[in-house]
Homo-oligomer: A and B are copies of this chain.
Amino acid sequence: MDLTNVSQAKVYDGWHKQYQHTSSVLNCEMRFAIFLPPSASAANPVPVLYWLSGLTCTDENFMQKAAAFEKAAELGIAIVAPDTSPRGESVPDDAEKSYDFGLGAGFYLNATQEPWKTHYQMYSYVVEELPQLVEANFPVTSQRSIAGHSMGGHGALTIGIKNPDKYVSISAFSPICHPTVVPWGEKAFRHYLGEDKTTWQEYDAVELIKTHQVTTPILVDQGDADGFLEEQLKPEALQHAAREHHVPLELRMQSGYDHSYFFIQTFINEHLAFHACQLFKD
């Protein structure tokens, strides 16, 4: 698997770099970004936090707006940010070009329906192909954590819960906790997965908590001034399921914060420290 370096910039004595590659899982050209802390080297490989972004984002939003690099440099954690959907002219998009389905809205699932299933396989891309690529090409270990925002918070929760052997900690900002019962999730899942709602439960954190023995620590921050909170996010359903099934979830309602990267940057250092606790255990 060949990587083409697209950009690089020194930051906090480490590096931010963007790469392009051909994804055999997604059947298209993909771009991702990686932050490498200054301590990363072949002699000192570092663990990786995978960051999954929200609707409309690319690999750039988190890397430019989250203010995460000072702390990640200090802790010695690499950060990898994939795109939010397959891309390119061959990839089908929503006929109405809506922001919440199609390009920029892959929902971190494996589509089963035409015409989506050829390309929209973001679950396998994030869980399998991307870590293989990263671990083969950069000075990193196979210690991984996963985090994300909004649609990417849904991705982090569902992927982390389903793969306890692959991720040592999970965190999310403003995640779509219960996509099977909210407009964003219903629209995307109907197209990608079809009308049989039993197949949707594989990609719903609240449902997964009921059927998986979750012991991975989970941190969720949610702003109470988030305009999407009531209709789309449903953190109370996540908390309810977590309590009932003894899942180590800490949900923090943050007073006055909205859905933006200003919220994320305020608490990202605490998320990095949370992941570091697990990544550097023993």
Contact = CB atoms under 8 A, between A and B. Distances in A.
A70 B10 CA distance: 21
Contact of A263 (B10, B64, B256): B10
B263 A9 contact: yes
Interface in A57-116: 64-65, 67, 69-70
A266 B11 contact: yes
A228 interface: no
A262 interface: yes
B69 A9 contact: no
A69 B265 contact: yes
A78 to B, nearest CB: 16
A34 to B, nearest CB: 13
A16 B10 CA distance: 27
A258 B256 CA distance: 36
Contacts of A13: 266
Contact of A225 (B10, B65, B266): B10
Contacts of A274: none
A9 B70 contact: no
A265 B10 contact: no
Nearest to A73: B266
Nearest to A258: B9
A13 B70 CA distance: 19
A67 B63 CA distance: 11
B10 A256 contact: yes
Given A10-B223, A10-B262, 17 more contacts: A9-B257, A9-B258, A9-B260, A10-B256, A10-B257, A10-B263, A12-B265, A12-B266, A16-B262, A64-B65, A64-B261, A65-B65, A67-B69, A67-B70, A69-B262, A69-B266, A70-B266
6 smallest CB-CB distances across A and B, nearest first, come from A67-B67, A11-B262, A9-B262, A10-B256, A10-B257, A9-B260
12 contacts: A9-B257, A10-B262, A10-B266, A11-B263, A11-B266, A16-B262, A64-B64, A64-B65, A67-B69, A67-B265, A70-B266, A70-B269
